[in-house]
Structure 1
Amino acid sequence: MSGTKPMGTDEHDAARTERLRKAMRCLEGGQFAQARVLIEPLCDDRRADVILAHALAGSGRSTRAARMLCRLAHDNPTARHPAQDMMTLLLRHSRLEEIEVTLRATLRQTPDDIRLYDQLGEFLLLHGRTDEAIEVLIEGCRRHPSALRTGNLLAVTQNETGEAQKAQALLRHLLSYHPQSAMTHANLAHILTVDNRMDEALHHHARALELRPDDPHIHLNHAMTLLKAGRHAQGWPEYEWRLRIPGRLKYPAERLLPTLRQDSDLSGQRILILSEAGLGDMLMYLRFVPALVRRGARVTLQVPREILPLAARIYGVERVIDPLRPVPAHDWHCPFGSLPRVLGQTSDIIGAPIPYLHADPHKVLVWEDYMPPRPGLRVGLVWGGASRPGVAQAQAIDRKRSMNLAQLAPLATVPGLYLINLQRGQHARQMIDIPEGMQLYDPMDDVRDMDDTAAIIMNLDLVVSVDTSIVHLAGALGRPVIMMDRYDNCWRWQSGRSDSQWYPGLRIVRQDRPGAWDGVVARVRDMLLPARPDNP
C-alpha cells in the first residue's frame, strides 16, 4: 500500500519555523491579514500567540486581539504589557486607528491593569490629544494611587499644560510611597525649576543623583537648573554629561578639547568645533570662537549651511564646513555646547564682546531697497519657532514659545511703526489671514539663508521675537531686541531678569503665567509707543 510518508519531527519543526518566519516578515511589511492566515494554525505557544495578536490588531480584529493580549499579559504580570510591542509595530505602519481601538478594547477587558493606562496615555500624548491623555492617566492614578510610572507621566503632562501646582502635589504624593524613586525626584526638580524655585529644585536633583549617580539625563537636567540659577562654574562642567548619552559623542573622548587655563597656548593646534543642537544655540556659542583664535588655534567650524557665511566671517577662522562634508584632520574636537566649559576658567567665560557676528555690507545695501521708507520705526517680527517634526520635546517647547500672528494685532495700532516679517516655516502661513488693520512688509520670499536675514536686520531699528534663533542673530549683530518669552523660560535667560548677560541690547518680556501672551503683547506695545511724559 502506497501513501504519503508522515512528516518527521525535525521536518515538522523546520516547517513550523519557516511559517513563523514568513508570518514575521508579513508583520514587518505591514501585511497583517497575510500574517494572520499564516500563523493561526500554529497558535499553541507564546511566540505564535504574540504574532497572531499583532496580526489581529493590524487587520482590524481588535476584540479578538485584545483577548489574546490580555491572556499574554496575565501570564507575565510584572513584564512589559504585550500591547506595547503591538503599538510599536503598528506605529511603523501608521495604523493609528487600529492601535487606539485595540488598546481601548484591551483596557475594557482588564480595567485594573495599570500598564494599559500608561500605554494609552502615551499614545494619546504622542498624537497631541493631551486632554484625553490626562483623563486616561487620572483614571489610572485613581485606581492605583501609588502607580509610579503613571503618576510621573501624568505630572509631567500636567506641567506641560500649565498645571505646575497639581504636578508638584502629585509627585510629592508619589514620593510618600516611593521615597527612593530617582525618576520622581528628578521630575519634581525639573518642574520646580520651571517654577523658578531653584533651591528646592537643586535639593531634589541632589537626591536623584544620590540614587542614580551615573544617569546622564539626570545630570543634564541638573545642569540646566544650575545654569538657569546663574551658577555657571558648576553648570558648564555638569552639562558635559550630555556627551555620555549614547550616540552624542561621535569622536574619541580622549581627543575632546580639555578645559583651558588663562595662559593656555594653542599655537598651531587644529581644533574642530562640531555642529550641535539648534541654530540659536550655535549662533550663541560662536561668541567663544575668537578666544581660541587668539590663543593660536587653527579653527575649523562645522555648521549648518544656513549660518555658514556668518560663521566664515569670524576673524581668524581657518575653515568652515557643513555637517555633510568629511571632517579635516584635527588635533582636538569640541562640540559647540562644550565651548563654555573649555573657557570657563579663563576671562573669556562670556565670550567675545558684541557684535561678534557681522552681516555682508553689500547685502545690507541691497536689502535696504526692500525696506519701507523713512521716517518710521522699522520693527522685525517673529511669532513662531521651528518645531523639528519627529522630536517630541522640541515640538512641546515650540507650542509653548510660539503664538498666533493674530495675537500681535495690538502692535499694528502703534503710530509710525513699520512691521517687517522675519518669520519663516510653518508659522509664516498665518499671513494668509493677516489681522485686520495690520500691514506686514514681507521680504522673506527672497531670503536664502541667515546671511540674508542678518542683512535685513541691519536695516531695522528693532527686532521683536519669541525665543528663536532670530533673537540670537539680532543680539550677536548688536541690534536691539525685545524677546517675548514663555513662562517656563530657557535656562540661558535665567529667572527674574528682563535683561541678558549674553546680549546687552536684549530686553525680555515674560509671561506671568503659562500661555498668557496678551499681557506680554500689551507691554511690548507700550514699549513701542512714541516717547511721551508717561512713557519716557
Structure 2
Amino acid sequence: MNQSLKLALRRAQEPAFLHGYFSGVGLDIGAGSDPVSDYASLFPRIEQLFAWNVNERDVIYMDDAPADVLDFVHSDCLGRFDNPRQVLVRWLEFIKSGGYLILTLPVDPLSEQGISPTLTDVDHERTFTLHRPDVASAGSLNVLDLVNDASPVSSCERICLLREFGENRQEGSADRQHQAAAYAIEIVLRKRDVPRLFDLATAMPNAETDSAMLDLCHKTLRLYPYRLQTYFHINLELVRRGVHDRLEDLWDESVRRLPNERLPRLFNALMLIALGKLTEGFRRREALFDGADWRGRTTVAPPAYANWRGESLEGKSIVIWSEFGLGDEIFFFRFARIFRERHGAARVTVVCQAPLVELFRASGEAAAICSVEDAPQLPCHDYWVYPHAIPVWAPLDIDHLPDVVPYLRAGVEHTPMVLPGNAHALKVGVIFKGAPTHENDAARSLPSLSCLDPLFALEDVEFYIMQKGQGEDEAADYAARLRNVHDLGPRLRSFGDTAKLMNALDLIISVDTSAANLAGAMGRPLWLMLPMLGDWRWHLEREDSPWFPSARLFREKGRGWSEVVERIRLALIDLRNTR
C-alpha cells in the first residue's frame, strides 16, 4: 500500500481531519503521480480540491495563486526546498483566517532509529527532526523551530510523529514498540487573522509619526519576513522619510532570511554603495558575479589573460572592459585617468560600446579606445577588469574622490553650435525620458513632456529638447506650438553631437540617462530629476553629487513630479535673474 493512501485512510478515521482540517476549498501542493485528490472522496466535507504540480509550476512564489481564499492547503513536499521557512509562510498566505495548512514531512533517519530509508522521499532536499539536534543530519531542520518561525501568522494545532510497524510483526508482541519505525512528521497549522502585506504597505505612508511608521515596519517584517516585497515597501518608506540609519540593517535581514536568492544580496550591496560604503558595497556586488557567465554583464567575452585584482599597475598595461549600459561606461571612464595618475599604469585601453568610441577618443584619457566589435583583435595586455570591479581593488572614499572631472569633452574639430531662439536668453537643454528597456524606466522617466509646462511658461528662457527615441514625437509637437521650445533631437546623431550641444547650453535639465552622465563627466551645469528610489551613484538625500561636482539633484519625495518641477521652476527663476 502506498504512503499517500495509507495516510489518507488513517486521516479518514480521525474526526479532526474528517470534519475539520479537510473541509471546504483546498489546494494540494506537490500533486504528482500520487495526488491527495485521488482520495478526496474519503473526506465528504471537501467541496473542491485543486492540484498544484510541483514539477510543472513554481511552488515558492506562486504569483498566480489567490491569497486569503482557501480553507486548507496540503503538501508533502516541503522538504524539497532549500528554504522551507520561506515556502511555509508563503503557503500560509493563500489560506483564509481560521484555515489550515497540513504538512507531511520526511523524518531525519539519524534522529529516529530504525527508520527505513525507502520511506524517505528521494526528492527531498531536507529532512526534519523533532528537537533532536544532537543526532540530526546536516541540513536537517527542527520542526519546533519551523513552527515557532511561523507563529506570528499561524497557531500550531498538531505535531505528531507518524509510525508504522514491520510487516512481519506478531500481534501482541512485547517487542512491538521496538518494531515501529517513524516515517513522517505531521504538522497542522491554523492561519491567524493577520493583515495582508498590501494593506500594511498601504498604511505606512499614512503613519502620522516616524515612530508609528517604524512600528508598522516592524510588524510587517514580523509577519512577512520571507517576502522580498516586504523589504521593498519598507525601504521605500524609510527613504521617503529620510530614516536612512535603518536601511543597512533592513537589507542585511533580507539576506539572512533569503540567503539563497540573488536579489536580496544585490540590493544589500547597492544600498551600501548608496550609503557611501563604497568598498564593501562594491565587494558584495562583485561577489554576486564571481564565477558567473560573462554574458550577464557584457556583450563580448573578456580576454584569457589576468583579471586585475588589485595588483600593482606600475609600468603595466590594463584594459577596462565594456560592461552594462552606456551611462555606466561613461561613469566609469573616469578610471582611465585614475589608473594612469594614481596607479602608474603605462597603458590604459578602454573597450566600450560603439556609440561611445568617438566620444572617448576625443577625451585623450586612454591610450586606445576599442569597440566591443573589435575587442577580439586587441593585443595582449597585462590585465583586464570590469568597471564595477575597480572600486573593490582600488578603494574609494566618498568624501575624497579623485578630482578627475571633466574627463569627457567635445572633439576639438567641432565648431561651436549655433542655437535658434533668443541669443540673450538662458539656454536650457531638456531630456525627459530614458530608454524604455531600462529596468527602472517607469520611475526615472517623466510620463510626459507636459510635466514641464510650468518651466516652458517662463520668459527669457529658451528650451532645447535633446530627446532621442521615446518622447521624440512629443518634442516635435511642443516645438511646433511654443516659441521658446526647440526640438534638437533630430540633429543629434552621436554622443559627439550631444557633447557639442551641451557646450553651447547654460544648463542641462535631465532625468537619469546616459546623457546626464555625459553632462556630469563634461563638468557642464546639470540639474538632475531623480525618482525617490534612484540609482546607487546618486546616493541618498544629498542634493549634490560627489562624482559630478557640477550636478544639482532634485529628488522626487513621494509627492509626484509636479513638486520637483516647482522646485526647479523657482531655481530656474533665480538662475535667470542672477546670471
* TM-score, normalising length: structure 1: 0.64
In structure 1, how many angstroms separate the alpha carbons of the residues matched to 2:531 and 2:346? Answer: 39
* Alpha-carbon distance change, 513 to 191 in structure 1, aligned in 2, over 3 angstroms: closer
Given residue 498 of structure 2, which amino acid in structure 1 is its aligned partner?
A: T
Q: Measure how far apart 1:362 and its partner are.
A: 2.6
Aligned equivalent of 2:250, options 201, 204, 208: 204
- RMSD between aligned residues: 4.5
Q: Find the partner of 1:278 among 325, 329, 339.
A: 325
How many Å apart are 1:387 and its aligned residue?
1.5
- 1:219 matched residue in structure 2: 265
Letter paired with 1:493 = W
**Structure 2 counterpart SS, 1:361:** coil
The offset of 1:432, in angstroms, is: 4.6
Q: Match of 1:458, SS?
A: helix
Residue of structure 2 equivalent to 1:287: 334
User: Where do 1:491-530 residues align within 5 Å?
Assistant: 491-513=536-558, 516-529=560-573
Report how far residue 450 of structure 1 moved.
Answer: 0.9
- Secondary structure at the residue paired with 2:372? coil
Equivalent residue for 1:267, pick from 301, 315, 332: 315
- State how far apart, in whole Å, the 2-side matches of 1:252 and 1:194 are: 41
The 1:208–1:512 alpha-carbon spacing in structure 2 relative to 1, beyond 3 Å, is closer
Give the CA deviation at 1:199: 2.7
Is the counterpart of residue 481 in structure 1 residue 516 in structure 2?
A: no
Residues in 2 aligned to 1:302 and 1:114: alpha-carbon distance in whole angstroms:
57
1:335 alignment counterpart: 386
C-alpha displacement of 1:398: 3.3
Instruction: Tell whether the 8 Å contact from 2:200 to 2:220 is kept in structure 1 after alignment.
Output: no
Distance in 2, Cα, partners of 1:176 & 1:353: 46
> SS of 2:414's equivalent?
helix
In the alignment, structure 1 residue 443 sits paired with structure 2 residue 492? no
User: What are the Cα deviations for residues 13-67 of structure 1, in whole angstroms up to 9, with x where unaligned?
Assistant: xxxxxxxxxxxxxxxxxxxxxxxxxxxxxxxx989xxxxxxxxxxxxxxxxxxxx
Report what 2:121 is aligned to.
none
C-alpha spacing 1:183/1:495, structure 2 compared with 1 (3 Å)? closer
Classify 1:323/1:352 alpha carbon distance in 2 versus 1 (closer, same or farther; 3 Å). farther
Conservation of the 8 A alpha-carbon contact between 1:272 and 1:300: yes
1:380 Cα deviation after fit? 0.3
The alpha-carbon distance between structure 1 residues 254 and 189, as it changes in their structure 2 partners (threshold 3 A), is farther
- Percentage identity across aligned positions? 23
What's the TM-score once normalised by structure 2's chain length?
0.60
Structure 2 segments unaligned to the other structure (5+ residues): 1-30, 34-47, 74-90, 100-151, 155-190
What secondary structure does 1:424 align onto?
A: coil
The whole-number CA distance in structure 1 between the counterparts of 2:199 and 2:302 is: 34
State the distance in 1 between where 2:320 and 2:447 align.
Answer: 34
Task: Give the secondary structure class of the aligned counterpart of 2:349.
Answer: strand
- Structure with bigger gyration radius: 2
Q: Deviations over 1:490-509 (max 9, x none)?
A: 22222221111111111112
Name the counterpart of 1:112. Answer: 70
* Displacement of 1:286: 0.9
Mapped contact 2:520–2:550 kept (Cα < 8 A):
yes
Shift in Å, 1:418:
0.9
The structure carrying a bigger strand percent of its residues is 2
Per the alignment, residue 464 of structure 1 pairs with: 509
* Conserved? CA contact 2:305–2:382, under 8 Å: no
Q: What is the CA distance between 1:162 and its match in structure 2?
A: 10
Q: Which residue of 1 aligns with 2:159?
A: none
Partner residue in 2 for 1:27: none
SS in 2 for 1:324: helix
What is the number of residues matched between the two proteins?
413
* 1:413 pairs with one of 452, 457, 464: 457
1:434-487 CA distance string (max 9 Å, x none): 296463212221322111100110011110111222221111111111112212
How far the C-alpha of 1:428 sits from its partner, in A, is: 1.9
Equivalent position amino acid for 1:267 in 2: G
Among candidates 368, 372, 375, match of residue 323 of structure 1:
372
Inter-partner Cα distance in structure 1 for 2:428 and 2:381: 43
The answer for the alignment partner of 1:124 in structure 2 is none
Does 2:282 align with 1:236? yes
8 Å CA contact 2:511, 2:528 repeated in 1:
yes
Residues 185 and 205 in structure 1, CA contact (< 8 A), matched pair in contact too: no
- Tell me what 2:410 maps to: 359
Cα distance between partner residues in 2 of 1:313 and 1:526: 36
